[in-house]
Amino acid sequence: MKKSKAFPYIMGGVAAVAILLCGWYLFCPALNPKSIGLWILINLSALAFTLVSRLIIGLRDHKRVADSKKKKRAHYASEAADLIFSAKYHIVPIGIAALILLLFVFSTTVFNATAYSEIMKVSEGDFNKDIAHSVGTDSIALMDTSSAQMLGDREIGALSDVVSQFDVSEEYTQIDLKGRPIKVSALEYAGFFKWINNRDTGIGGYVTVDPVSMSATFNKCDGMIYSPSAFFNEDAYRYLRIKYPTVLFENLHFEIDEEGKPYYIASVIDKTIPLFGGKTVTGCIVLDPVSGETERLELEDIPKWIDVVFYGDLLCEQYNWHGMYQNGYFNSIFAKKGCKQVTTYYESEEEEESSDSTPVSDYGYIAKDGDIWIYTGITSVNGDSSNIGFLLANERTGESRYYSVSGADEKSAMAAAEGEVQEKGYQASFPSLINIEGHPTYIMVLKDSGGLVKLYATVNVEQYNIVTTAATQAECIEKYKDVLGIDSDDENKEPEKLTDVTVTIASVKYIDIDGNTYIYVIDTEDNIYKAKAADHESMLLLSEGDIVEISHSEGNIVKCETVG
């Protein structure tokens, strides 16, 4: 008899344990009181216990007193509804839900504004000192993820034995590889059955994309067994959760070391404002996807080759806490004195016009001192389409610097660059920031409707009507220097070797390139010489049959004089 009375509760316990174990295996929440996912899973388990036990008790005690099937159904339906929806049977799950809500509310910025504002430590930076004048074009990471995806897919598409079994992951990571910015992405299984077919050998390669040369390369490696695209215990996230059941981690992403060996990196986080608020990074977990070996590292022990631990979205969120809540929560709502935030944008014009849409933050990358730093503009909450400064934040160490440089915001700069070639309909990518002889300058790419990079553009931060475009980064920067009147000659550079010739002109052509007119001189021997018309206005008077003396360097005219 006692056994019979305990049966409903035993079955309820079985249901609760089943929900708990299956939910933990499927969704992998940390077994940590700071994991809101764990609390939700516990609440679902408690709800399963009360539902199953109450249903069994109700069915056991129910007497069939109705005459017709219709009355029976109505009686059973009424009984079941009472068992399922009556709050008196669900005191425990309701109590857990109330506790979760209470803890969540007391973890918000309303009650902890000062604590949130102090999570990110921001120092004042010196623009001319920190952003070197001599920044080279190979350190500027301009390619956005969509362009990298297109190049990576094209590279893999040419490899028939690879493309039939694998896809390129859409998750590209910006890293610094031997002083150059590179985007990397691992291959992934193209579905469950492709995983079954290849799980013994694993994933044998990854893609690197060079944002300077706009080229992608497929790199072979030993078979990666553990991957986010694998299943069951070979899923990289689940594999790490089983090995580190109590550790809060996220941002699982792909990187390579200086020798090209692949790894997956997860950021270890902590909630510093009890119990669910104030997220920050305390270290990382390194997974060798080939051997399955793992290592947990504290911040001070993270090697130089790991580039992304403090990921960009978290850094922007932390700066917004810092900028918005320094003077308290209610100041951020009403007076908004001194409130600042990172640049935000809407993904489409429709979203911008919609009152329900929320703008998102965006940022560019700068390769500096062997690390990847994110760049984003800082704007006043009460301001217009202009920046009051910008933020550089190191994705490996979390070091953050604020630079007080006012000027156009990124969206305005992008619009200015697009307007320079509006007849072509190109779209600008989110810009990066460089230092051109003390001039803060946006640099970005312009893409056509197919996502192909067509031009580079530079826009002066303080005067965004100063815009130049060109087919290469180097040429674009040189044109920008010309507009600013900056002498781009390098004192250490060998002087150009000039060749002097006397020729008879066979024809003169005028060609417009990116809004600049170039003069092409063809002599009677079919040699071609060219010069920019703005720099050699006297050459506009040349005509067929003229004899001229030309000083040139590889066909580029330095001096031209008529002799007959």
59 shares a domain with 97: yes
518 shares a domain with 442: no
479 shares a domain with 523: no
93 shares a domain with 11: yes
Q: List 324's β-bridge partners, or say none.
A: none
User: Distance from first CA to last CA of the chain, Å, rounded?
Assistant: 124
Of 105, 129, 159, which marks where a domain is finished? 105
Q: Which amino acid is at 179?
A: G
The Cα–Cα gap between 202 and 188 comes to: 10
Residue 375 lies in a domain: no
475 shares a domain with 515: no
Question: Which three-class secondary structure state does DSSP give residue 358?
Answer: coil
Residue 417 lies in a domain: yes
The burial class, CB within 10 Å (0-12 / 13-18 / 19+), for 56 is middle
17 shares a domain with 50: yes
Q: What is the bridge-based pairing of β-strands 122-124 and 400-403?
A: parallel
Residue 73 lies in a domain: yes
What is residue 515's predicted lDDT score, i.e. its pLDDT? 60
Enter the tokens of residue 373: 């730093």
Of 50, 73, 105, which marks where a domain is finished? 105
Residue 285 lies in a domain: no
26 shares a domain with 68: yes
CA 79-85-86 angle, to 5 degrees, is 85
Q: Count of CB atoms within 10 A of residue 498's CB?
A: 13
**Residue 558 neighbours by CB under 8 Å, 6+ apart:** 496, 498, 551, 552
Of 75, 90, 105, which marks where a domain is finished? 105
Enter the tokens of residue 78: 């009424």
512 shares a domain with 447: no
151's torsion region: left (phi>0), alpha (psi -120 to 50) or beta? alpha
For residue 521, give the CATH number of its domain: 2.40.50.140
Q: List 208's β-bridge partners, or say none.
A: 184, 217
The Cα–Cα gap between 393 and 404 comes to: 15
Give how many domains the chain has, as a whole number. 3
Enter the tokens of residue 106: 């007391």
Q: List 446's β-bridge partners, or say none.
A: 428, 455
Residue 167 lies in a domain: no
What is residue 65's predicted lDDT score, i.e. its pLDDT? 41
Q: Which amino acid is at 161?
A: D
Domain range for 69 is 2-105
472 shares a domain with 525: no
99 shares a domain with 9: yes
Residue 209 lies in a domain: no
Mean pLDDT by 10 residues, the chain (564 residues): 72 95 96 96 93 79 48 56 66 90 94 96 89 60 82 85 89 90 94 94 94 85 96 97 98 96 98 94 98 97 97 96 95 91 74 63 84 92 80 96 90 92 90 88 89 88 91 87 74 59 90 74 88 81 90 82 80
Find, among 4, 29, 18, the residue nearest to 51 by Cα.
18
Residue 211 lies in a domain: no
Residue 99 lies in a domain: yes
Helix axes 2-27 and 36-61, enclosed angle (nearest 10): 150
519 shares a domain with 474: no
**Residue 41 neighbours by CB under 8 Å, 6+ apart:** 19, 20, 23, 24, 27, 29
What is the separation of C-alpha 188 from the centre of its chain, rounded to a whole number of angstroms?
Answer: 19
What is residue 289's predicted lDDT score, i.e. its pLDDT? 98
pTM (2 d.p.)? 0.81
What is residue 530's predicted lDDT score, i.e. its pLDDT? 87
According to DSSP, residue 430 is labeled P
What is residue 559's predicted lDDT score, i.e. its pLDDT? 85
- Letter string b/e over residues 281-309, b meaning 16 or more CB atoms within 10 A of that residue's CB: bebbbbbbbbeeebebbeeeebeebbbbb
The Cα–Cα gap between 16 and 18 comes to: 5
464 shares a domain with 427: yes
